[in-house]
Structure 1
Amino acid sequence: MFDVVLTEEEKAIRNEVREFVRDQVDRSLILAMDSKEKEYPYEFIEAAGKANLLGLRFPEEYGGRGLDWTSELVALEEIGVLGIALGCAYSLPSIVGESLDKFGTKAQKEEYLAPTLAGEKICAEGLTEPRSGSDFFGTITTAVRNEDGFLLNGEKRFVAGGVGADYFLIYAKTDFEAPPHKSLSAFIVERDSGIEVNEEYELMGCRGMGAARISMQDVQIPAENLIGELNNGAAVFNAMMVPERLTSAAGPIGMGRAALEIAVRYADKREAFGRALRKFEGISFKIADCATKLDAARGLVYRAGKVADTGQWCRKEVSMAKAFGTEAGLEAVDESMQILGGIGYTDVYPIERLFRDARLATIWTGSNEVQRLIIQNEVVKEVLSEDTSMKRNIEMDTPGAHKEEEKVFKENPKKYYPSDMREEG
C-alpha cells in the first residue's frame, strides 16, 4: 500500500472518494452507459458536485478545496475503478478548470468555474480536428475579430462530453501570419451560441460519455469570452496539458487495480489440476508483475503531481507518468483477463469493459508515442545543459579512456579519396 507516502489529509480524501464510488454511483448507470442507452452521466456530475469532489485543487472561493495534486490523483485512482467514461467526466472540470483558474478573469471564474465545480454546468474542450490530432498546433479553426467580438468557423472531433456540454473551451487561429505556436487563442463558447453537435461517435470503450463532432459556422461570441491574452493559446494549452495528462495517468491505475483484484480473488478460488490457479508459477508471476508495475506507475504519477505543485516545468515528469501509468493500467487489465481465461472475455466479469476503456488511455490526451518524444527531448536538454563539474566523470573509469583517437563521432567522408579529390568535410 502507498499509505506511507500519503498525508492524513490525502488518505482522508481517498476514503471519502472510495465511499462516494461505493455508495453514490449506481450499477445501473455504468451498465446503461456501456450499452449506449445513456448519452451522458449528468447525475454522476451532479452528485460529485454536491459532494464537493470536483476540481479539488481549485480555490475554495470557486467551489474547490484548495488541495494539492496528490489529493486529486488519489481521488482520480478511486474514480478510475468505475471505468474511463466516468473518469473522464470527473476529470474535465479539472482540465477545463485549469484554463479558467490560471488565465480566466474573475467574471469568467464566477460564471463558469464555480458552477462547473458545483456540478451545475457541464464543460468540454475542443482540441482535435478532422486533420489534426497530435499535431495540435496545426489547428485550422479560425476566430476573426469583429465589432461584436469574434466570429468562429471550424470543426472539432472526439470532443469528450460534447453531447452533454453547456460550454466548450475552443482553440482557434487568430493570427494568420504568425508561426503555429503563436497563432492560436482560447475561447469559451456557449452551446447555445450556434455551435452544432453533429454526431456521437460509436466507440470501442468510453461509452456513454457523449463523444461528439462539433461544427461552428459563423458562430459569434463576445470578446470577453477570450481566455487569457490574444494569440497566447499556446500558454493555455501547455498549462492544460498538466491536468490533461495527469488525469489520464491516474485513472487507468484504478482500472488496473480493480481488474487485478478480481483476478487475484478468482485465481485463489478457481482450481485446475487439483490446485488453485495462483499456485501455478505462470499465474503468480503475472500477479507479481502487474502489482509491481501498478505501484511503479503510482509512484511516477505522485512524483509528477509533486513537481506540478511547485509550479516548476514538469513536462518530462507528466509525460513519463502518462505513458507509464496508462500502459501499466492496460497491462494489468490485459493480464487479469488472461488469468481468468475465457470467462474474462465475457460480460460475466467487468474486465472486458475495463480492457476496452484502458486501451483508449494510451491514445488520447497526447498519444504515448508523443509522450516518448517529449520525454527524450527533455532528457537530452537536461543532460546536455548540465554542469558536470560537481559529478564524477565516469567516462574515465576504463583502461582505454585516454585513447582519444578511438572516440570518433564524425569524419570527412572523403578522407581516403585521392588527394586531388579530397575536400575538408
Structure 2
Amino acid sequence: MFDHLLSEPAKKFREEVRDLVRWVPREMILDMDRDRIQFPKEFLQEAGRRNLMGCRYPKRWGGRGMDWVATAMAMEEVGTLGYIFACIFGVGAELVCDAIILHGSDEQKEKYVRPLLKGDLFAAECLTEPRGGSDFFGTTTTAVRDGDDFILNGQKRFIVGAEGADYFLVYARTATDARPHEALTCFIVDRGPGVETQYLYGLMGCRGGGAGRIAFKDVRVPKANVVGKVNGAYAVFNTMMIPERLGTAAMTIGAARPALDVATGYTGRRKAFGATINTFQGVSFQIAEAVMLLDAARAMVYATCKAVDEGESSRRIRRMVSETKKFVTESCQKAANNAMQVMGGIGYTNVFPVERIVRDLRLASIWTGTNEVMSMIIANEWYRGRIGKKAETEARDWELDAAEAHAQEEKIYE
C-alpha cells in the first residue's frame, strides 16, 4: 500500500475497512463460491452499520465527505476478501449512488441513497442487455410515457445484485426518433409488480453476487423516479463510467493481492533440489514480476484518482480511466497467474485459494466495458487530443529534430 498517498483520515478509515474484512466469516466466502449464498445481504448490512460504504459522498446523505483516493483504498481492501465482495460493495454504494448523488433530486437521495449507505436497502445497476453490453446506445428496453408515469418493458442480463436488490437503476429508450445521445432516460425502478428476476448463470467465478437476468413487463415507473432529465441518460452514463471503471481497477488490485501473498509464503517454504524454490530465478522472477505489476497498477489507480479529485478535464479523465481499467485488470490477471504458476499443481487445487482468485479475476477485463472497448476509447481520446493541438501542449516540434527533416518531398501522406 502507498501510505504516502493517503491522508491521516484515510489511513484511519483503512483500519475500519480492514476490521470489516476481518469480520467476514470464512464460511461466507466459501458458501458464496459454492453458490449456497446467492447474495450476501449480511455483508452489506454490516458494511452499512459501520458507515463504510460511499465514503466520498456528502455526510448529509450518509457518506464521509472523503475523496477518490480514499475510495480506491477502500475498494482495494474490500477486494482482498474476493472480487465478488468488492463488486457488490461497489455496485450499490458507488455506481447507483453516484448517479443519484450527481444527477438525482434531494427526494431521491433521501429515499434511496441514505438507506442504501446504511445497509437498509440494496441496489443494482441495469445496463447490459441480452443483445449486448458495450453498445450502450443500442438499448432496446423501452419506457413509454403514460400520464405522470412511464411504462417500462425490456430485459437486462448479467446484473450483479439482481437477486438481492430492492431497486434498480435502469436505462431505457424514451425517444424513438431522436439521436442516440438524446434518446435514453435513466430510471430508479423499485422491485415490485412486473419486475421479474431469475438467477440463471453458472458463473466461472465471482459467484454469490446474485447475478441474474431481469425482465420488466409493463412496469409503471413514476416520473419522480427519473434520474436527471428525460432523454438525458447520456449525462448520467458519462459520469458513472468513472466509478464503474476506476472502481473496478482499484478492487482488482485487492483481489490479486492474496494470490501474491499465498504464493510468496508457499515458495518460501516449499523445497526442491535441496533448497526452497524461491531461490530459483524461474520462481523468484515471476514473483518479482507480480510485485512490479501490482505496484505499477496501484500507482496508476492513485494517479487517476488524484486527477479526478483535482477536476482534470473530462476528456483526459475519460482516457486515464480507460487506460487504468485496461492496464490494471490485465496486470492483476498476470500477477495471479504467476502466483499459480510458481505453486505448480497444488496451486490448481482448492487446497489454496489461488485457483478461486484466478477464476474470479477473469471477469475483470470483461465487465464494466471490455478492455477492447477501453483500447478504442484510449485511441480515440489520444488522437482527438493530439491532432492539431500539438503546438499548444509541447515545448518543441520534435518532428524537426532529424537531419533530413526539411525533405518535404519525402513526407508523403496521401
TM-score range normalised by the length of the shorter chain: over 0.9
Partner SS, residue 140 of structure 1: coil
Distance 1:397 1:162 in 2: 58
2:405 to 395, 401, 421: 401
**CA offset at residue 385 of structure 1?**
4.1
Distance 1:273 1:233 in 2: 62
Match of 1:281 in 2: 281
Paired amino acid for 1:307: A
Per-residue CA deviations over 1:108-163 (Å, capped at 9, x if unaligned) read 00000000000110000110011021111100100000114100010000010000
**CA offset at residue 338 of structure 1?**
0.5
Distance 2:318 2:148 in 1: 37
Q: TM-score, normalised by structure 1?
A: 0.94
Distance 2:227 2:28 in 1: 34
Partner SS, residue 170 of structure 2: strand
Paired amino acid for 1:88: C
Unaligned stretches of 5+ residues in structure 1? 411-425
Distance 2:239 2:288 in 1: 36
Distance 1:115 1:200 in 2: 28
Partner SS, residue 77 of structure 1: helix
Per-residue CA deviations over 1:300-342 (Å, capped at 9, x if unaligned) read 1111111222333110111111111111111111110001110
Is 1:318 paired with 2:317?
Answer: no
Match of 2:17 in 1: 17
Per-residue CA deviations over 1:192-214 (Å, capped at 9, x if unaligned) read 14200033311111101110101
Distance 2:265 2:244 in 1: 33
Is 1:366 paired with 2:369?
Answer: yes
Distance 2:12 2:331 in 1: 26
**CA offset at residue 264 of structure 1?**
0.8
Deviates more, 1:80-89 or 1:149-158: 80-89
Is 1:112 paired with 2:116?
Answer: no
Paired amino acid for 1:51: R
Paired amino acid for 2:326: A
Distance 1:82 1:54 in 2: 16
- 8 Å Cα contact 1:320/1:375 also seen in 2: yes
Unaligned stretches of 5+ residues in structure 2? none
Distance 1:70 1:268 in 2: 33
1:183-222 equivalences in 2 (<5 Å)? 183-222=183-222
**CA offset at residue 16 of structure 1?**
2.0
Match of 1:256 in 2: 256
Paired amino acid for 1:400: E
Partner SS, residue 398 of structure 1: coil
Match of 2:339 in 1: 336
- 8 Å Cα contact 1:168/1:190 also seen in 2: yes
Match of 2:272 in 1: 272
Distance 1:255 1:102 in 2: 28
- 8 Å Cα contact 1:101/1:109 also seen in 2: yes
Partner SS, residue 192 of structure 2: helix
1:376 to 376, 379, 383: 379
Match of 1:306 in 2: 306
- 8 Å Cα contact 1:256/1:328 also seen in 2: no
Match of 2:237 in 1: 237
**CA offset at residue 167 of structure 1?**
0.2
Distance 1:407 1:15 in 2: 59
Match of 1:102 in 2: 102
Distance 2:242 2:291 in 1: 26
1:351 to 342, 350, 354: 354
Distance 1:200 1:169 in 2: 20
Paired amino acid for 1:341: G
**How many residues are aligned here?**
409
**CA offset at residue 374 of structure 1?**
0.5
- 8 Å Cα contact 1:171/1:184 also seen in 2: yes
Partner SS, residue 387 of structure 2: helix
Match of 2:124 in 1: 124
Match of 2:395 in 1: 391
- 8 Å Cα contact 2:199/2:210 also seen in 1: no
Distance 2:83 2:388 in 1: 39
Match of 1:416 in 2: none
Paired amino acid for 2:212: A
Deviates more, 1:367-376 or 1:310-319: 310-319
Alignment identity in percent?
A: 48
Partner SS, residue 192 of structure 1: coil
Per-residue CA deviations over 1:272-312 (Å, capped at 9, x if unaligned) read 11111111111111111111111111111111111222333
Distance 1:284 1:6 in 2: 30
Paired amino acid for 2:65: G
Distance 2:188 2:5 in 1: 38
Distance 2:277 2:369 in 1: 38
Paired amino acid for 1:196: E
Structure ID, larger Rg: 1
Distance 1:125 1:66 in 2: 23
